[in-house]
Amino acid sequence: MHISTEAVQIGLDWDSRTGAVTVPIYQTATFRHPGLGQSTGYDYSRSGNPTRQALEEGIARLDGGARGFAYASGMAAITNLLLLFQRGDHLVVTEDLYGGTYRLFEQIFHQYGLEFTYVDTSSLDEVAAALKPNTKALFVESLTNPLLKVADIKALSNLCRERQLLCIVDNTFLTPYLLRPLDLGADITVYSASKYLAGHNDTIAGLVVAKDQQLAERIYFLQNSVGAVLGPQDSCW
């Protein structure tokens, strides 16, 4: 199916109870259980909200991943992903990086013991040369902000697989319309959906897609534990 067909179908047939053809905004914190030991599948909107879920399933479909996650901003999404790592872990990162991401890495995560090396990720050789025994991941902007340098995601993903590193791609500037990093071997995509994905300059949002279910479970644990989720109003676009 063409991506534009996929995109317009997101959220259709969502509400079997009413038949609403667009996703209703479930503006609720808590969901009542039908009875003792019974569940609708929802209990508390931090853990899961049908409106947010429609968006999460939509981005997972557009990106070809196992599961999507929606956050209150792109920075909240990136923060959640960085919690996959532990003190002493090293990440190789695009040097021409969105300034807010650089600030998060250097001024916040650095003080919790994460180590970052910034390289030109349009050069496979520079990335390979920056790897260390404690490197756990590559964080790469597929098209960098601000200089619009292009990374070879397939080659970088192959390198990551060989060295058993997570390949995380900030695909904000390209969106799944122009590039699907998971198809090229990346493990995780992350977006500032505040830009082209939401598209109308009226929402701050972040999205993540995990390629496989095992990774998705780890990310869901972090999303639910930290709670920087996207609200139902902002999930509906």
Ligand X SMILES: Cc1ncc(COP(=O)(O)O)c(C=O)c1O
Q: Active-site positions?
A: 46, 98, 170, 195
Q: Which of residues 138-167 bind ligand X (CB under 6 A)?
A: 141, 145
95 binding ligand X? (CB under 6 A): no
Residue 86: Cβ within 10 Å count: 10
Which one of the spans 8-16, 70-78, 111-119, 124-132 is the region binding ligand X (CB under 6 A)? 70-78
Is the CB of 149 or the CB of 158 nearer to ligand X?
A: 149
Interatomic CA distance for residues 38 and 41, integer angstroms: 9
98 binding ligand X? (CB under 6 A): yes
Looking up tokens 């098209």 gives 143
Q: Which of residues 20-49 bind ligand X (CB under 6 A)?
A: none
Residue 208: Cβ within 10 Å count: 29
Q: Is the dihedral of CA 95, 100, 101, 106 positive or negative?
A: positive
Helical ranges in the chain per DSSP H: 3-9, 50-63, 74-82, 99-103, 124-130, 153-163, 175-178, 213-226
Instruction: Single out the residue of 56, 63, 95, 170 in contact with ligand X (rule: CB under 6 A).
Output: 170
Is the CB of 58 or the CB of 74 nearer to ligand X?
A: 74
Q: Which of residues 194-213 bind ligand X (CB under 6 A)?
A: 194, 204, 206
73 binding ligand X? (CB under 6 A): yes
Is the CB of 72 or the CB of 128 nearer to ligand X?
A: 72
Interatomic CA distance for residues 153 and 5, integer angstroms: 25
79 binding ligand X? (CB under 6 A): no
Per DSSP, 157 falls in state H
192 binding ligand X? (CB under 6 A): yes
SS3 116: strand
Contacting positions for ligand X (CB under 6 A): 73-75, 98, 100-101, 141, 145, 170, 172, 192, 194, 204, 206
